[in-house]
């Protein structure tokens, strides 16, 4: 079965049809720059353009950087505040004439990793963390997603965790890799003690430079880098939009 996966990000909206049995893209990926200002309606128009450029007619799964409940955007930590309360799923369905399921973008990336990447065949509790401008999280128990965990917004030492331990903080404050690892270590210790995961998967662009900071980390949980890389959001969103979704 093929499902179209949409990945809506701050800089680009990208998508492609995916074979949800294998996790492979079955056509070339289409990417269009995210409109500025990124109002909800402008995002819908651009997302629809991505789907139509692919000449796709069928079910769609979509990842979006916010808490999502029944297709409706609930938060706007890193997107335009006007998005709160917007029925993204409903508007996309109306424009496309197809079924659409919207999930949190970190959850989508985690779905891809658990089914076809670093978390495949791992029993127990798997925690996926995407380190970017902020920190996205996806928590799985026995392969089933616990949606919208938003663990990047834990308060640690009086700070919103992602403001100190996201890759955005490293760049903004010009931290050395050792300094950044110290921040990340503090964060990982807290989430380890809260959830006692069996595996932690680190994703986001910074994961490609894991050799710079992994040696400075000391976790009791096995720590690995994500394998699905740039396609994780598309592939995971497609699986979420399938008939047998892994979303709990």
Residue 243 has pLDDT above 80, yes or no: no
Task: Give me the CATH number covering residue 209.
Answer: 3.30.420.40
Say whether both 131 and 208 belong to one domain.
yes
CA–CA dist 76, 59 (Å, integer): 26
pTM of the model: 0.94
CA–CA dist 225, 222 (Å, integer): 10
Tell me the pLDDT tens digit for each residue of 121-168. Answer: 998 999 999 999 899 999 999 999 999 999 999 999 999 999 999 999
Tell me the pLDDT tens digit for each residue of 220-238. Answer: 999 999 999 889 999 999 9
| Residue 248, in any domain of the structure | no
Tell me the pLDDT tens digit for each residue of 73-89. Answer: 999 877 788 999 999 99
- Structural domain boundaries enclosing 136: 120-227
Say whether both 130 and 102 belong to one domain.
no
Tell me the pLDDT tens digit for each residue of 155-206. Answer: 999 999 999 999 999 999 999 999 999 999 999 999 999 999 999 999 998 9
Residue 245 has pLDDT above 60, yes or no: no
Token reading at 78: 């890193």
Say whether both 83 and 33 belong to one domain.
yes
DSSP 60: E
Work out how many domains the chain is built from and give that number.
Answer: 2
């Amino acid at each position: 079965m093929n499902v179209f996966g949409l990945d809506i990000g701050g800089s680009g909206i990208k998508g492609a049809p995916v074979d949800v049995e294998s996790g492979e893209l079955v056509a070339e990926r289409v990417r269009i720059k995210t409109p500025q200002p990124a109002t909800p309606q402008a995002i819908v128009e651009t997302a629809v353009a991505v789907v139509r450029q692919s000449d796709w007619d069928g079910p769609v799964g979509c990842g979006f950087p916010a808490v999502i409940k029944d297709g409706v955007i609930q938060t706007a930590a890193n997107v335009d505040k006007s998005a709160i309360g917007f029925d993204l799923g409903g508007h996309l369905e109306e424009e496309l004439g197809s079924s659409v399921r919207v999930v949190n973008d970190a959850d989508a990336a985690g779905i891809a990793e658990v089914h076809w990447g670093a978390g495949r065949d791992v029993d127990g509790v798997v925690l996926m963390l995407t380190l970017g401008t902020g920190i996205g999280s996806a928590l799985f128990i026995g392969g089933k997603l616990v949606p919208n965990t938003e663990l990047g917004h834990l308060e640690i030492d009086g700070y919103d965790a992602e403001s100190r331990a996201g890759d955005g903080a490293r760049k903004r404050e010009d931290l050395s890799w050792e300094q950044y690892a110290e921040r990340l270590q503090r964060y990982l210790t807290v989430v380890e003690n809260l959830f006692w995961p069996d595996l932690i998967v680190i994703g986001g662009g910074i994961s490609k430079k894991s050799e710079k900071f992994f040696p400075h980390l000391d976790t009791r949980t096995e720590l690995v880098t994500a394998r699905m890389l740039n396609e994780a959001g598309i592939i995971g969103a497609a699986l979420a939009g399938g008939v047998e979704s892994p979303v709990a």
